[in-house]
A and B are shown apart, each in its own frame.
Chain A
Amino acid sequence: MKHSAAAAKTSGRLRRIRKAGLDKAPYGAQHRTSGTRLRFGSADVLTGVAGIAVSFLVLCALIPGWIAPYSPTEMNTAAILQAPSVLHLLGTDYFGRDVFSLIVYGTRDSLLIGICSVLVGVLIGGTLGSLAGYVGGKLDTVLMRLMDVLLTVPGILLALTIAAALGPGLRNIVLAIAISSVPGYARVMRGQIMAIRRRGYIFASRAIGARPSSILIRHVLPNSAAPLLVMATLGLGSSILAGAGLSFLGLGVLKEIPDWGALLSQGRGYLTVAWWICTFPGLAITLFVLSVNLIGDRWRDAVDPKRKGKV
Chain B
Amino acid sequence: MTNGITHKLAADRIYPKRRFKLGCVLGALALALTTALTGCGPASGGSTAKAASGTAGSAASTPVQGGELTYALATSPDTLDPRRSGLAVSVRVFGALYDTLLIRNADGSLGPSLATEWKASEDGLSYTLKLREDVKFQDGTPFNAEAVKYNFDSIIDPETKAANALALLRPYKSSEVIDEHTIKLNLETPSQAFLGNLSQGMLSLVSPTAAQKDGENYGKNPVGTGPFKFVSWSENAEIKLAKNPDYAWGSAESSNTGAAYLDALTFKIVPEEATRIGGVQSGQVLAAETVPPQNVVALQNDPNAQLLQTNTIGFPYTLFFNLEHEPWNELKARQAVQYAVDLDSIVKTLYLGTYERAWSSVTPGILGYDESLEGQIKPDTAKANALLDELGWVKGADGIRVKDGKKLTLHYVDGSPNREKRNDIAAMIREQLKAIGIETEVEITQDIATVVYQNWDYDLYGNSQVNSDPHGLTSFYRSTEDEGRRTLSGLSDPQVDKWLDQGAIEPDEAKRAELYKKVQQYISDQALILPVYVFPYTVAAGRSVQGLTFDPFGYPIFNDVYLQK
Q: Could you tell me if A297 and B30 are in contact, using CB atoms closer than 8 angstroms?
A: no
Q: Could you tell me if B31 and A239 are in contact, using CB atoms closer than 8 angstroms?
A: no
- Given A94-B350, A248-B37, answer yes or no on A241-B2 (Cβ-Cβ < 8 Å): yes
Cα of A168 to Cα of B443 in the assembled complex, Å: 9
Across the interface, B2 reaches (CB within 8 A) one of A155, A281, A293, A297, namely A155
Cα of A124 to Cα of B44 in the assembled complex, Å: 50
- Given A254-B423, A272-B44, A272-B274, answer yes or no on A301-B16 (Cβ-Cβ < 8 Å): yes
Indicate whether A149 reaches chain B with its CB closer than 8 angstroms. Answer: no
Indicate whether A183 reaches chain B with its CB closer than 8 angstroms. Answer: yes
Q: Could you tell me if A253 and B444 are in contact, using CB atoms closer than 8 angstroms?
A: yes
Q: How close is B288's CB to chain A, nearest CB, in angstroms? A: 14
- Given A156-B2, A300-B14, answer yes or no on A95-B33 (Cβ-Cβ < 8 Å): no
Q: How close is A42's CB to chain B, nearest CB, in angstroms? A: 11
Q: Could you tell me if A155 and B4 are in contact, using CB atoms closer than 8 angstroms?
A: yes
Q: Write the A218-249 contact mask toward B (1 if CB under 8 angstroms, else 0).
A: 00000000010011001101110110110010
Q: Write the B368-404 contact mask toward A (1 if CB under 8 angstroms, else 0).
A: 0000000000000000000000000000000000000
B345: nearest residue on chain A (CB-CB)?
A77
Indicate whether B60 reaches chain A with its CB closer than 8 angstroms. Answer: no
Indicate whether A201 reaches chain B with its CB closer than 8 angstroms. Answer: no
Cα of A285 to Cα of B27 in the assembled complex, Å: 8
- Given A155-B1, A155-B2, A304-B15, answer yes or no on A94-B30 (Cβ-Cβ < 8 Å): no
- Given A250-B417, A264-B33, answer yes or no on A187-B45 (Cβ-Cβ < 8 Å): no
Q: Could you tell me if B4 and A154 are in contact, using CB atoms closer than 8 angstroms?
A: yes
Cα of A256 to Cα of B278 in the assembled complex, Å: 31
Q: Which of B49-57, B251-259, B424-432 is the interface stretch?
A: B424-432
**Which residues of the other chain, A, contact B16 by a CB distance below 8 angstroms?**
297, 300-301, 304, 307
Across the interface, A278 reaches (CB within 8 A) one of B10, B34, B345, B418, namely B34
**Which residues of the other chain, A, contact B523 by a CB distance below 8 angstroms?**
none
Cα of A127 to Cα of B274 in the assembled complex, Å: 45
- Given A73-B431, A187-B10, A188-B13, answer yes or no on A238-B44 (Cβ-Cβ < 8 Å): no
Cα of A176 to Cα of B345 in the assembled complex, Å: 39
Q: Could you tell me if B30 and A95 are in contact, using CB atoms closer than 8 angstroms?
A: no
Indicate whether B41 reaches chain A with its CB closer than 8 angstroms. Answer: yes
**Which residues of the other chain, A, contact B350 by a CB distance below 8 angstroms?**
94
Indicate whether B213 reaches chain A with its CB closer than 8 angstroms. Answer: no
Q: Give the size category of B's interface with A.
A: 35 or more
Q: Could you tell me if B33 and A181 are in contact, using CB atoms closer than 8 angstroms?
A: no
Indicate whether B294 reaches chain A with its CB closer than 8 angstroms. Answer: yes
Q: Could you tell me if B349 and A234 are in contact, using CB atoms closer than 8 angstroms?
A: no
Indicate whether A210 reaches chain B with its CB closer than 8 angstroms. Answer: no
Q: Could you tell me if A241 and B26 are in contact, using CB atoms closer than 8 angstroms?
A: yes
Q: Could you tell me if B2 and A273 are in contact, using CB atoms closer than 8 angstroms?
A: no
Q: Could you tell me if A95 and B5 are in contact, using CB atoms closer than 8 angstroms?
A: no
- Given A248-B37, A300-B14, answer yes or no on A254-B3 (Cβ-Cβ < 8 Å): no
**Which residues of the other chain, A, contact B43 by a CB distance below 8 angstroms?**
272-273, 275
Q: Could you tell me if B41 and A272 are in contact, using CB atoms closer than 8 angstroms?
A: yes
Q: Could you tell me if A231 and B9 are in contact, using CB atoms closer than 8 angstroms?
A: yes
- Given A156-B2, A184-B6, answer yes or no on A272-B42 (Cβ-Cβ < 8 Å): yes
Q: Could you tell me if A154 and B3 are in contact, using CB atoms closer than 8 angstroms?
A: yes
Q: Which of B17-25, B86-94, B488-496 is the interface stretch?
A: B17-25
- Given A268-B274, A282-B31, answer yes or no on A95-B416 (Cβ-Cβ < 8 Å): no
Interface of B is mostly: helix
**Which residues of the other chain, B, contact A151 by a CB distance below 8 angstroms?**
3, 7, 10
- Given A264-B33, A279-B34, answer yes or no on A235-B14 (Cβ-Cβ < 8 Å): no
Indicate whether A294 reaches chain B with its CB closer than 8 angstroms. Answer: yes
Cα of A24 to Cα of B415 in the assembled complex, Å: 57
B444: nearest residue on chain A (CB-CB)?
A254
Q: Could you tell me if A285 and B30 are in contact, using CB atoms closer than 8 angstroms?
A: yes
Q: How close is B375's CB to chain A, nearest CB, in angstroms? A: 19
Q: How close is A90's CB to chain B, nearest CB, in angstroms? A: 14
A51-110 interface (Cβ within 8 A of B): 73, 75, 77, 80-81, 83, 94-96
**Which residues of the other chain, A, contact B26 by a CB distance below 8 angstroms?**
237-238, 241, 289-290, 293
**Which residues of the other chain, A, contact B416 by a CB distance below 8 angstroms?**
250
- Given A244-B33, A254-B427, A273-B294, answer yes or no on A77-B9 (Cβ-Cβ < 8 Å): no
Q: Write the A136-155 contact mask toward B (1 if CB under 8 angstroms, else 0).
A: 00000000000000010011
Cα of A113 to Cα of B204 in the assembled complex, Å: 51
Q: Could you tell me if B30 and A289 are in contact, using CB atoms closer than 8 angstroms?
A: yes
Cα of A254 to Cα of B442 in the assembled complex, Å: 7
Q: Please, could you name 25 A-B residue pairs with CB atoms under 8 Å apart, sorted by A?
A: A75-B349, A155-B1, A156-B3, A181-B2, A187-B10, A188-B9, A188-B13, A231-B9, A235-B6, A238-B2, A239-B2, A241-B29, A245-B1, A245-B33, A254-B423, A264-B33, A266-B424, A268-B38, A269-B274, A272-B295, A273-B44, A278-B34, A283-B34, A286-B27, A304-B14
Could you tell me which A residues sit within 8 Å of B by CB distance? Answer: 43, 73, 75, 77, 80-81, 83, 94-96, 151, 154-156, 158-159, 168, 177, 180-181, 183-184, 187-188, 191, 227, 230-231, 234-235, 237-239, 241-242, 244-245, 248, 250, 253-254, 256, 261, 264, 266, 268-275, 278-279, 281-283, 285-286, 289-290, 293-294, 297, 300-301, 304, 306-307
Q: A273-B295, A282-B33, A304-B16 are in contact. List 6 more A-B contacts (CB 8 A).
A: A75-B428, A184-B3, A235-B9, A261-B33, A290-B30, A306-B15
* Chain A to chain B: the 10 pairs with minimum beta-carbon distance, closest first: A155-B3, A282-B34, A293-B23, A184-B6, A286-B30, A238-B2, A268-B38, A242-B2, A285-B30, A184-B10
